[in-house]
Amino acid sequence: MNKHALYTLIIASFTIGGCSTMKNSTTAGKASDDRPTIYDLCAKYSSDKCGQAHNFITFYDRLLTPKRDSIERFFEIGILNGASHLMWKDFFPNADIFGIDLKDYSDKGLKDGIYTFVANQAKREDLQAFIDKYGGDFDVILDDGGHAMDHQQVSLGFLFKYLKPGGYFIIEDVHTSLPAFYPREEFNVDDDESNTTLRMIENYIRTSFMVSEFMTQEEMMYLQKNIESIELTYRTTKLHSTMCIIQKKEEW
């Protein structure tokens, strides 16, 4: 093959590769079957993950719709009225859904396949009791609980080891790290903002060191060794909607 033909071939394969990547991202979430989409279910259960509020659902569509049939264990912190847990149960046909909250939901009659447990996400002994009862090995752990700095960082530090390799730990409402918009006392933000979840993530990206006053040394080391990627998403809503998606490394 002469040089010109080789260059043409390389350029053509880049172009085809680029097109197919774009195609995948634009078709992500469009159900290839008759099942309701994640948007349909979000609207059905009136979850605040969609529409006018934070609109995190577009990110969930991109991340989770391609994994819809393979996810088996999905754990969300923070139940409120059960909207999101009901949505996940309908969305993932092969998954058990787990939830913890300060309040007891055991008599609320959420669906079969949704398991709830009373726990404070900022207390390791509560999280341990939940794991002792239901096990780990989650495909996804989603934190939509109290959104204070200690809540977010204790839960991330303690629970990351209970994710499957390649699994995702998602922290919603990372914007509570921004005292210009959210009251610092309510979310346990220091005067100099040095303890915020947003600062911790930015510092990790900058230095490769995970440092948190709310984590043990062992938890920080485990995170440092086992993070594959971090994605911070920001949407220009009035709420400054910010979310963080942390993927765990696959096992070698």
Residues of this chain that interact with ligand SAM (CB under 6 A) are 47-49, 76-80, 83-84, 100-103, 120-122, 144-146, 151
In the complex with ligand SAM, the residue whose CB is nearer, 142 or 246, is 142
| Nearest residue to 205 (alpha-carbon basis) of 214, 213, 197 | 197
In the complex with ligand SAM, the residue whose CB is nearer, 11 or 102, is 102
- Least distance CB 68 / ligand SAM (angstroms): 18
Give every CB contact of residue 232 below 8 A, 6+ residues apart in sequence: 174, 201, 242, 243, 244
Buried b (16+ CB within 10 A) or exposed e, 70-104: ebebbbbbbbeebbbbbbbbbbbeebbbbbbbeee
Q: Three-state SS string across 42-87, please?
A: HHHCCCCCCCCCCCCHHHHHHHHHHHCCCCCEEEEECCCCCHHHHH
- Least distance CB 172 / ligand SAM (angstroms): 8
In the complex with ligand SAM, the residue whose CB is nearer, 121 or 153, is 121
Select the residue whose beta carbon is closest to ligand SAM and give its number: 146
**Residue 167: which H helix or E strand, with range?**
strand 163-171
In the complex with ligand SAM, the residue whose CB is nearer, 19 or 102, is 102
- Least distance CB 116 / ligand SAM (angstroms): 11
| Nearest residue to 77 (alpha-carbon basis) of 161, 11, 23, 138 | 138
In the complex with ligand SAM, the residue whose CB is nearer, 76 or 139, is 76
Helix axes of 149-159 and 197-207: crossing angle, nearest 10 degrees: 50
Structure tokens at 67: 């994994």
In the complex with ligand SAM, the residue whose CB is nearer, 109 or 251, is 109
- Least distance CB 49 / ligand SAM (angstroms): 6
- Least distance CB 233 / ligand SAM (angstroms): 16
- Least distance CB 209 / ligand SAM (angstroms): 26
